[in-house]
Structure formats: C-alpha cells, structure tokens
Amino acid sequence: MSTTWHVLGAGSLGTLWAARLARAGLPVRLILRDKARLASYQAVSGLTLVEQGQARTYPVTGETVDSPEPIHRLLVACKAYDAPGAVAQLEHRLAPDAELILLQNGLGSQDAVAAQLPLARCIFASSTEGAFRESDWCVVFAGHGYTWLGDASHPTAPLWLDDLRGAGIPHEWNTDILTRLWRKLALNCAINPLTVLHQCRNGGLQDHQCEVATLCAELAELLECCGQPAAAQDLQAEVERVIQATAANYSSMYQDVANGRRTEISYLLGYACQAATRHQLSLPHLQQLQVRLVNHLSAHGLPSD
C-alpha cells in the first residue's frame, strides 16, 4: 500500500501536484485551512486541473488540520510566509518518520520549518512549473517545467520519487539544492523588484541594462560571500537571457502587486539583504532596491514583509 500524500494548501501548485498524483491512482488527501474552506471544497466534486484547454476534475478527499490521521508524507504548498505557521498546526499529526517536501520559492521559510521539526526529513524543492488559480478549486497548468528536489543534510534520494515518475511530474534529485535555490533567488532579485518599480514586463528591463548589471554584480558578491560560488557564476549573462526569453511576461511579483496580493519579498530580496547585513557586506544598490520596493508596497497598501 502506497503512503498517502498529504497536500497542505490547495492553491496553484498544491492542486497541480494533488491532481497529477491522484490521476496516477496514488492516495492523496488535501489539508484545508479551516471548516469553512472544507465546506466550500466539499460543495464541488473535486479539484479541477485545466491542461491545454481541457478541464478534468479529480475527486481528492479534503480534510482540515483537525483530522486524526497521522501524516507520513507532507507536501507543503503554501506561500513562504504561511508555510511555518501552517506546518506548526499539523505538528501533532506528524509521524516520527515524517517527510516534508517544501515547494516554497526563495529562502528562509524552509529553514524555519526544518528548525520546528528537528526529527522530520525536510526536502527542499525548486520548481519551474507554472500554474495559476482560475477560481477556487480550479487551476490552470500554465507552463511546463521541472522540479528539482534535494536534502542538504542527506544525499540519498527517497524511494517515493517513483510516485512522481508514475504521476508524470518531471523532476530530478539534486544533491546541491541550496545552490539551485540561491541561483533562483538571485535571478528573482535582479528581475522581479525592478519590474514592479518600473511597471513593466520582463522585457522592459532591456531599457535598464545598467541598473540590472549593477544589481547582478552585487548579487554575485553576496553569493560568493554566502559560500555559493557556483550560484554566482555568469549570473548577469543568465539574467539577460531570462529577460529576453520571458520578455512578454509579467513577473510573479508584478502580478502579485497588480492583483493586490501579498508578495514573498521577505524570502527573496529581504532574505538577500539580511544575508548581506549578516556578512557585513555593503551592497548599496541592492539595499536601496529593497527600500524602494518596501515604499512602493506600503504606498499600495500591501504588507512589506
């Protein structure tokens, strides 16, 4: 009998994973934030995933944190700012051998969760898949990609990667997951805040090449200082490639701000600036970027943490 996949958070990525695991016949249970959300979910017939214009509904069982069943495998699919609190509510249900897969973008929330649960195995993930909520319980699979998974303290891959293979979730075990997460954080810091401040698509940053180059130089210095030289390599060239390849897209931070949603700033630019302070590094442009972004968010009535 396969171990049940408990999925915490039925948003974009949580639904994308839960639907594909359920489609492969694997046992999946969705953990929703409260009774009201559970009642709303139970009023529909399951999770709907829209792929290439085709919608299919998967009848995944929902529950709240108060459900009694022990949890052996937990996919944490909340935003970075919600993850530690949401996991804490489930602590009493985690089996001694529990494994958690943390899908959060940026850095900081994974360490916070791991520190709460010293006995559990916490696997960090970095994904280039893209999905968005069309409505409650209905998610559009918008961009095919890859998910890298790794555990900075144990290089051995878990056996359940076979479940992902069976479910058609493209993935790779990565023994250097921190390098991948740092690199993604640096790319995000060089692009996303500027798209918010200049109110432009990613391609609009081609008009701000000097600003981007200065930020890349400071970010590379930070990565080196944080023991991540591989993540620093050719950073500017990759940032320029990403800007070109995604020129028509609005960054995720731009979309969050445009839709009045809280951003994950504390786990991206905020995390980078905190690391710089810890290492007593002076990175004036990065720090100024954070001040400008925080002011912009406050001016739009959005939280700046």
Active-site residue (options: 19, 99, 184, 187): 184
Q: How far is the CB of 264 from ligand NAP (least distance, A)?
A: 6
The verdict on 49 binding ligand NAP (CB under 6 A) reads no
Q: How far is the CB of 20 from ligand NAP (least distance, A)?
A: 14
Of residues 12, 110, 214, 251, which one binds ligand NAP by CB under 6 A?
12
The verdict on 11 binding ligand NAP (CB under 6 A) reads yes
Catalytic residue at 79? Answer: no
Of residues 7, 21, 26, 32, which one binds ligand NAP by CB under 6 A?
32
Of residues 38, 78, 98, 276, which one binds ligand NAP by CB under 6 A?
78
CB neighbourhood size of 264 (10 A): 23
The verdict on 253 binding ligand NAP (CB under 6 A) reads no
The verdict on 264 binding ligand NAP (CB under 6 A) reads yes
Distance CA 279, CA 261 (A): 31
The verdict on 187 binding ligand NAP (CB under 6 A) reads no
- Return the range that interacts with ligand NAP (CB under 6 A); candidates 73-81, 182-190, 197-205, 218-226: 73-81
Structure-block tokens of residue 275: 């690391």
Of residues 4, 48, 110, 127, which one binds ligand NAP by CB under 6 A?
127
Structure-block tokens of residue 125: 């993930």
Sites of contact with ligand NAP (CB under 6 A):
8-14, 31-33, 37, 77-80, 82, 86, 103-105, 127, 129-131, 133, 264
